[in-house]
Structure 1
Amino acid sequence: MHGGEGRHEPEDLFLRWQLAPSAVHRTWRRGRATAVLADRRRGRSLVAVGDPGEAAALVAEVLDEAAPEVVTLVRGTVEVLAERAPETAARLVGGDDWDWFWTDAAPPQHLAGEDDVVALDVGTGRAPGPDAARVRDLLAAANPRSSVRPGDPHARLWAGVRRGDDVVACIASTSDDGGPAPHLAAVATHPGLRGRGLGAAVTAAVTRRLLAEHPVVTLGMYADNDVARRLYGRLGWRCSHRFSSRRVRPLPPVA
């Protein structure tokens, strides 16, 4: 195991495309596992990829030194920690399981409904645009767990489908953790209009647009969303990482 500055281009797809190199503080390796300490939008994070068993040993060894607010660990690492390092596992609380996807190829066929996808004007947090309230209402009804909402400074593009005065489908392109690839988030379709291809249309249209300017586009989804998993698979997206993210409970102060 060794530490480093993490300024090289990593081989791992998530580390390469999701994280901003300037935000990486340290890198550790153990066998087939790599851990990276980086500033991410949800706070200072320790990200561990590779073999879950070796990742668990690495996290147990460096957690105190790294002192992250959040850990994002390859799926299975939390369970190994619970078995082999229960004191470390007990400090990891809350959070979600989620999957990370990437693509470097636009959908091969132009989908019905793509021509209806338009840019949305949500404005900024201080100066909301005319579509901000409509998108908030849609997300509240269709995707209340969305990590991105109108006014988020990381969102560089909002697109969607209108029906009259309403926005019935939407998607956002964000800079997320500042990495070199745009990241899709806030995918939502009005519950009353699901099954009509609107989610596929907005995802395909924005993916096509972004790949005209970038070599790779990424996205994340909650692990229990099987409908979204099937949609992204049909559009050619590839899931390369299955993660568990947890908050880190700090050690109590020494008396």
Structure 2
Amino acid sequence: MTAVLTGHGLAELLRRTGDHPFVRWEVTEELADTWWTTPGAVAFQRTRKTMRRTVNVMGDERGVATLLDALPQIADEVDPARKAFSVSVPQHLEPLLRERYRVLDGGDWEWFHTTTSPPADPSHDLVRPIDDVARADEVRAFLEAHSPTADTGPGGGERWFGLEAPAGHDGSERLPGSPLVAVAALGTTRADAPHLSSVAVDGRQRGRGLGRTIVGALTRLAVVEAGVCTLGMYSHNDVARRLYLSLGYEQVCAWSSRPVVIGR
């Protein structure tokens, strides 16, 4: 049987993964205190919205299969009291998970990053910070109407930006607090990289380039501030994928995340 070894430390995990961008920008020193490896694959801990840890398994088919076979032992080290926890594997290897364990419903998603600013565009000047506390109800209603699967809401500490309704045809000017036509949040990953989330465009305004404007403007801001911008998206969203790729993002990972029942 192929051995599964335990590793320690972020520097060594980065070395084992070839300085993989997902590891660099999603894993902290604390999370990398303990990880697991076998020839061709690694398993490491991650967390985002909650402090409850999950496990990501990355590598080739043989290596991933070996680490999945060791999942009960890995689970004992991550959280011995839990009967089920989330495991993320490359989407094309998700059947390996189902062959071994009882798997509950989860999601398929993709992770992108860029270190290059998109070209400047005059429309970027129309993207303005918005007060997500004072306008929390409005932002929530906008997301519910136009992006109900958005995983970031107002008041969580992210910086929110918006595009407001254009000036009226009668010559009236756009005023602060005008109705929103697009929003997005700029937060950070656990490793403090800028992370773009909850991009939403008024469905009645689609086709006018508003998504390109707000994503382009915030990506430029993030790259200027930190040299990188990251984002995640659900895999069914082909329109968003095309937009991100056209703005210079690289699709780095395609994950299947599933709650897995671990029998011990």
TM-score, with length taken from structure 2: 0.83
- Aligned structure 1 segments of 4 or more residues deviating by more than 4 angstroms: none
How many correspondences in the alignment?
237
RMSD: 1.8
- Measure how far apart 1:80 and its partner are: 2.2
1:190 maps onto 2:194 in alignment: no
Q: Give the unaligned 5+ runs of structure 2.
A: 79-84, 166-173
**Which residue is equivalent to 1:66?**
75
Distance 1:251 1:239 in 2: 34
**Which residue is equivalent to 1:171?**
184
- The one-letter code matched in structure 1 to 2:128 is V
**Contact conserved, 2:69 with 2:100, CA < 8 A, in 1?**
no
**Which residue is equivalent to 2:247?**
235
Distance 1:34 1:168 in 2: 43
Distance 1:93 1:112 in 2: 46
- Measure how far apart 1:189 and its partner are: 0.2
**Which residue is equivalent to 1:75?**
91
1:19 maps onto 2:31 in alignment: no
Distance 2:125 2:216 in 1: 11
**Which residue is equivalent to 1:143?**
147
**Which residue is equivalent to 2:137?**
133
**Which residue is equivalent to 1:111?**
121
**Contact conserved, 1:53 with 1:80, CA < 8 A, in 2?**
no
- The one-letter code matched in structure 1 to 2:44 is V
**Which residue is equivalent to 1:101?**
112
- Measure how far apart 1:112 and its partner are: 4.7
Question: For the structure 1 residues 250 and 196, does the alpha-carbon distance in structure 2 shift closer, same or farther, using more than 3 Å as the test?
Answer: same
Distance 2:48 2:125 in 1: 35
Q: Give the unaligned 5+ runs of structure 1.
A: 124-128
- The one-letter code matched in structure 2 to 1:118 is R
1:36 maps onto 2:44 in alignment: yes
**Contact conserved, 1:25 with 1:36, CA < 8 A, in 2?**
no
- Measure how far apart 1:181 and its partner are: 1.1
- Measure how far apart 1:132 and its partner are: 1.4
- Measure how far apart 1:4 and its partner are: 1.6
- The one-letter code matched in structure 2 to 1:2 is L
- The one-letter code matched in structure 2 to 1:158 is W
Once structures 1 and 2 are overlaid, which stretch shifts more, 191-200 or 32-41?
32-41
- The one-letter code matched in structure 1 to 2:153 is R
Distance 1:41 1:217 in 2: 18
Question: For the structure 1 residues 39 and 222, does the alpha-carbon distance in structure 2 shift closer, same or farther, using more than 3 Å as the test?
Answer: closer
TM-score, with length taken from structure 1: 0.86
Question: For the structure 1 residues 13 and 63, does the alpha-carbon distance in structure 2 shift closer, same or farther, using more than 3 Å as the test?
Answer: farther
Residue identity (%): 32
**Which residue is equivalent to 1:211?**
223
- The one-letter code matched in structure 2 to 1:37 is Q
